[in-house]
Structure 1
């Protein structure tokens, strides 16, 4: 058993190294350059195509070849990528594994949070690299969320957006969802709210680029924004946000107050349970705890007295908090993200 466990740990170590190599290749645009070349290539050719030093490219290619990511023809001494791998390597995968560089920046900060006498958490605005990374990788998931979750699971929402409503994306980040909705439904007004001016500015740039006049990016704290929006919003959307907040129940009360009578709130949260014993066999539980430890929990504890639920706030607590906020009528749709559709 001890030997098997040791082999497993060593395998994890080797895999983690490969992930870091993938992230480096994604950051430098090496996989995209391979796709553009669309033929076997030498290290010199890839170096020229990416304006990188050949010696470093050669070492990285050796690393990727020994990891069975790229192929190497020993006769021609050229590297190649199989077609079935190329779309993955030049698409979302390098962006996804790019989180390791963000992790590297947060590791020293998190280490201090563990120590008695150290900080309780990490303020979101200390580094917005995670928010930017999310903005890069979530385009496809937000398109799916718009089609299958918002339009597919909220009754009559497509018709309401087409006719024109006022809605808010709370915790909008770089504003991907807000921009998608504003572009597709020009008769509706979308307020994109967040506490990061850096991320809001990225959203404003996106709106300017698309020449959208019906989306507005504004600083707002989810814990105290209802005074301005009291009973003014027809629909509120939160994607993977509520568990990050220091005080989720306070934020949900603010959301309830901001909705008009008959308004709808969509809360999308990770499909996990609130208890560890119920998550042990869950297919995404390790990833959930990983992101929670490095990002969600430190954000939630960054304010004195923060609840610190983290990403494993779970379906059970989520339902409890929604009810406590005033939503007596809600339904949960299950997928990779649980969709709480709540009615005022």
Structure 2
């Protein structure tokens, strides 16, 4: 770590010994709760290493189509760590800034659905702040839903619930049920992104809106060369997002399939889209045309 200039070496000691230290300005970047994606994804490296040989087989002409979800189960906790620090509070602020009417709607009382909620951290964060609204998170991973439900119960959050459901096949009686639907870095993993977006549109109320949150990568690799998150995002896509999507018959879009492609897909699904970008996320604010 010293040779990589992550930590420093001090040699000015009477005993002549070398001592290692972390400069104060680097501490936030190395902590899980403040360090953002790069620090947290270190916890994902063992998971990626575990599937490397399976991934190599996928490149063979006669190899498997992809990798099933089971080897990636530990990523539930990695995702929870990834979003637990600054991400959720920052995202909530960005949502409020990007959608001026959202805060008042949540304060008055609204119905909110998150598709692909994982460990439920975002819904729980929302529910604590907006106690007059009802929050519902769904995910196809039973382990994630179990964790989300248990932690919500332990924290005594009464206005949030979770269930194991497929976001591409929502219940027929949900049509026009929700004021607001959100997905966070989910569409690029879906086995049928078009169907998921169609379902989101179906369950929204006539005046409802959706926030599709994904990565701000461009469709052309050459336009991603100088992004501060490029290396992390391409690595996660190669080792997880693409092979797991393709194993279940999905297109394997991956997190870097690009803003331009996402905008086209959202328009095809019948949404009017406003795109807001920063270095960390792309926020697609979607309303009915």
For Structure 1 versus Structure 2, the TM-score category normalised by the shorter chain is 0.7 to 0.9
Deviations along 1:305-331, one digit per CA (max 9) or x if unpaired, are: x2221112211111111111121x220
1:286, CA displacement in angstroms? 3.4
Shift of 1:155: 2.7
For 1:201 and 1:123, the matched residues in 2 are separated by: 20
* 8 Å Cα contact 2:7-2:20 kept in structure 1: no
In structure 2, the partner of 1:160 is 105
Deviations 1:288-319 (A, max 9, x none): 32221111111221213x22211122111111
Asked if the contact 2:41–2:82 (Cα under 8 Å) also holds between the matched residues in 1, the reply is yes
Unaligned runs of 5+ in 1: 1-17, 19-63
How many residue pairs end up in the alignment? 279
- Residue 276 of structure 2 corresponds to 333
- TM-score, normalisation: structure 1: 0.75
Is 1:81 aligned with 2:81?
no
- Secondary structure at the counterpart of residue 48 of structure 2: helix
Question: Contact 2:48 / 2:240 at 8 angstroms: preserved in 1?
Answer: no
The residue that corresponds to 2:217 in the other structure is 272
Does 2:116 align with 1:171? yes
Q: Aligned pair in 2 of structure 1 residues 129, 274: CA closer, same or farther (>3 Å)?
A: same
Contact 1:226 1:255 in 2 (8 A): no
> For residues 83-108 of structure 1, what are the alpha-carbon distances to aligned partners after superposition, in whole Å with 9 as ceiling and x for unaligned?
50445444445534222222212212
Q: Distance in 1 between matches of 2:71 and 2:41?
A: 22
1:102-117 matches, cutoff 5 A: 102-117=47-62
Equivalent of residue 187 in structure 1, options 117, 126, 132: 132
Aligned equivalent of 2:7? 69
Distance, in Å, in 1 between the alignment partners of 2:3 and 2:207 is 58
In structure 1, the partner of 2:65 is 120
Secondary structure of 2:194's counterpart equals: helix
1:257 maps onto 2:202 in alignment: yes
More helix by share: 1
Q: Which segments of 5 or more consecutive residues in structure 2 lack a partner in the other structure? A: none
Query: 1:173 touches 1:194 (CA, 8 Å); kept in 2?
Result: yes
Say whether the 8 Å CA contact 1:288–1:312 is kept in structure 2: yes
Change (3 A) 1:65 1:296: closer
SS in 1 for 2:257: helix
What secondary structure is seen at the aligned counterpart in 1 of 2:166? coil
8 A contact 1:174–1:202 mirrored in 2: yes
Query: Counterparts in 2 of 1:203-282, with a 5 A limit?
Result: 203-282=148-227
| Partners of 1:333 and 1:339 within 8 A in 2 | yes
Contact kept, 8 Å, 1:273 with 1:279, in 2: the verdict is yes
Q: 1:247–1:300: 8 Å Cα contact kept in structure 2? A: no
Q: Summarize the Cα distance change of 1:163–1:68 in structure 2 as closer, same or farther, 3 Å threshold.
A: closer
Q: Which residue does the alignment assign to 2:239? A: 294
* CA–CA distance in structure 2, aligned partners of residues 226 and 320 of structure 1: 26
Bigger-Rg structure (1/2): 1
Q: Pick the aligned partner of 2:143 from 188, 195, 198.
A: 198
Q: 1 CA distance for matches of 2:208 and 2:115?
A: 15
Report the alpha carbon displacement of residue 154 of structure 1 after superposing the two structures with TM: 1.4
**Aligned-CA RMSD value:** 2.2
**Larger relative contact order (C-alpha < 8 A, sep ≥ 6)?**
2
